[in-house]
Structure 1
Amino acid sequence: MKSLRVLIGCEISGIVRRAFLDRGHDAWSCDLLPSQDGSNRHIICDIRQILNDGWDLLAVMHPPCTRLCRSGRRWLSGPGKMTPPKKLPRGRTWESMIEEFEQGVDLFKTCWHAPIGAVAIENPEMHDLAKARMPDDLPAPHMVQPFWFGHPEYKGTGWYLRGLQPLVETDRLAEPAKGSDEWKAWNRVWRMSPSKDRGQERSRFFGGMADAMALQWGAQAA
């Protein structure tokens, strides 16, 4: 299999980078923050600065999506569209909410239009205001679950794909009975109590899915 130059954007854990490295690819991660594993294959910068550096495959893991995903719709509209809601998150201004929305749109569109043959952007399903700002060729997200890849957990993960096929499940687990203690454990992401690390923990990726990406997409983009 051909070795690819792979850029893993918006990742600090190194989970996906390591999965591609383990399969012989020239993989690098990139984020505004340092890598948690201290790897020298991590670039600290805005990913938009390095999209033209000759990559074969781009996987953007957790781009800022708070203002694009459906759960964030309530903060962007009072009466009509893009008007202040009755209540904003504590400590936030309407101007800051709009700025975050515009930044999220720009980052997503810039990565989607990058001069790279194979692109995968992880993002929840978008609300109508975000969809209206997306490229015309953007497909519906391909939705997968961690338990398709051996992780006992529910967390719908959406992939917007260009030049790649949808992931095929590799190790599907039997689902627990709804309401059981095991089922509650599988829903831990949605049951987390508020904390300073909650956002980071909720965005933590899954090794089994990373392995499937490296195996399947690494072969497709070669």
Structure 2
Amino acid sequence: MRVLIGCEFSGVVRRAFTERGHDAWSCDLLPAADGSNRHIQGDVRDILNDGWDLLAVMHPPCTRLCRSGRRWMSGPGKWTQPKSLPRGRTLADMRAEFEEGVALFTACWNAPVERVAIENPEMNDLAKDRMPADLPRPQMVQPFWFGDPAYKATGMYLRGLPPLLPTDMLQEPERGSDEWKQWCAIHRAPPGPNRWAIRSTTFAGHAAAMAQQWGDLDGLTQDQRELHGAAA
């Protein structure tokens, strides 16, 4: 299977697919962190028509599409002046970043690829107004479903793919305990130049589940297909 991992420079998801024998490539504006020659540095939209079987877009810019960023873009109603803006930014800046986020998301969703998965948080109302009519609600997954002791609610918008099934469900720690605080490390990351990279982490267990369940989809037995269908 020819697999394109868009908006990924870490190589975590790409490696998970290549380890299972797939012809997998990553693409990002940044160079590959692991120095791989299976990475295309550039805009993923430039290569969407290159005959991929599966497209997984892992970290498209979502700051202006997600619910947490809504307060910076509008006050009451739609596109009215917000009460405040990030330091040094204008409402025009917010709108431009929003339009770019919408353009990238919709281009990937509408790509001529049979199977598409796009990671994005649940969207705010302004973003939902601009999304394709066939966009479903996202499947929300957590790293601890796949053996990684962490909280990071991750939305996966799926077309032509079944929802992911948990592979190694961990028992959640007691709320407020030291272990619970460790699981919340991503959300508790302090402001700084690397916070975006920390918050965009794809855990190895999640990547492995995608590669196993989506990469081997054609080889599923009927019982497995029915199990996936039940999970949907």
* Aligned mates of 2:193, 2:187 — CA distance in 1: 15
Structure 2 CA distance, aligned partners of 1:104 and 1:61? 13
Q: Which amino acid aligns with 2:146?
A: F
Q: CA RMSD of the aligned region, Å?
A: 0.9
Deviations 1:19-48 (A, max 9, x none): 000000000000001010000000011100
**Moved runs in structure 1, 4+ residues, more than 6 A?**
none
Q: TM-score, normalised by structure 2?
A: 0.93
Aligned equivalents of 2:108 and 2:209: distance in 1? 22
Q: Which amino acid aligns with 2:136?
A: P
Structure-2 residue corresponding to 1:109: 106
- Give the number of aligned pairs: 219
Task: Please state how far the C-alpha of 1:107 moved relative to its aligned partner.
Answer: 0.4
Between the aligned partners of 2:123 and 2:53, the Cα distance in structure 1 is 27
2:41 match: 44
Give secondary structure in 1 for the equivalent of 2:216: helix
Q: Answer 1 or 2: higher relative contact order, Cα 8 Å, separation at least 6.
A: 1
- The residue matched to 1:115 in structure 2 has which SS? coil
2:173 alignment partner in structure 1: 176
Code of the residue aligned with 2:33 in structure 1: it is Q
Q: Which residue of 2 aligns with 1:217?
A: 214
- Corresponding residue of 1:64: 61
Give, in whole Å, the separation in 2 of the partners of 1:179 and 1:88.
Answer: 32
Whether the aligned pair in 1 keeps the contact of 2:189 and 2:198 (CA below 8 Å) is no
TM-superposed CA distance for 1:79, in Å, is 2.9
Find the counterpart in structure 2 of residue 196 from structure 1.
Answer: 193
Q: CA deviation at 1:221?
A: 5.7
Matches of 1:155 and 1:80, distance apart in 2: 30
Shift of the alpha carbon at 1:84?
A: 2.0
Select 2:29's aligned residue among 23, 28, 32: 32
- When normalised by structure 1's length, the TM-score is 0.97
Counterpart-to-counterpart distance in 2, 1:132 and 1:8: 26
CA pair 120-221 structure 1, distance change in 2 beyond 3 A: farther
Change (3 A) 1:159 1:221: farther
- TM-superposed CA distance for 1:94, in Å, is 1.0
CA contact (8 A) 1:151 1:208 kept: yes
SS of residue paired to 1:150 = coil
Could you tell me whether the CA contact under 8 Å between 1:10 and 1:60 is conserved in 2? Answer: yes
Task: Give 2:197's aligned amino acid.
Answer: Q
On the 8 A contact 1:76/1:85 being kept in 2, the answer is yes
Q: What are structure 2's unaligned runs of at least 5 residues?
A: 220-232
Structure 1 residue 188: Cα displacement: 0.6
Can you list the C-alpha shifts for 1:161-180, whole angstroms capped at 9, x where unaligned? 00000000000111100110
| Match of residue 150 from structure 1 | 147
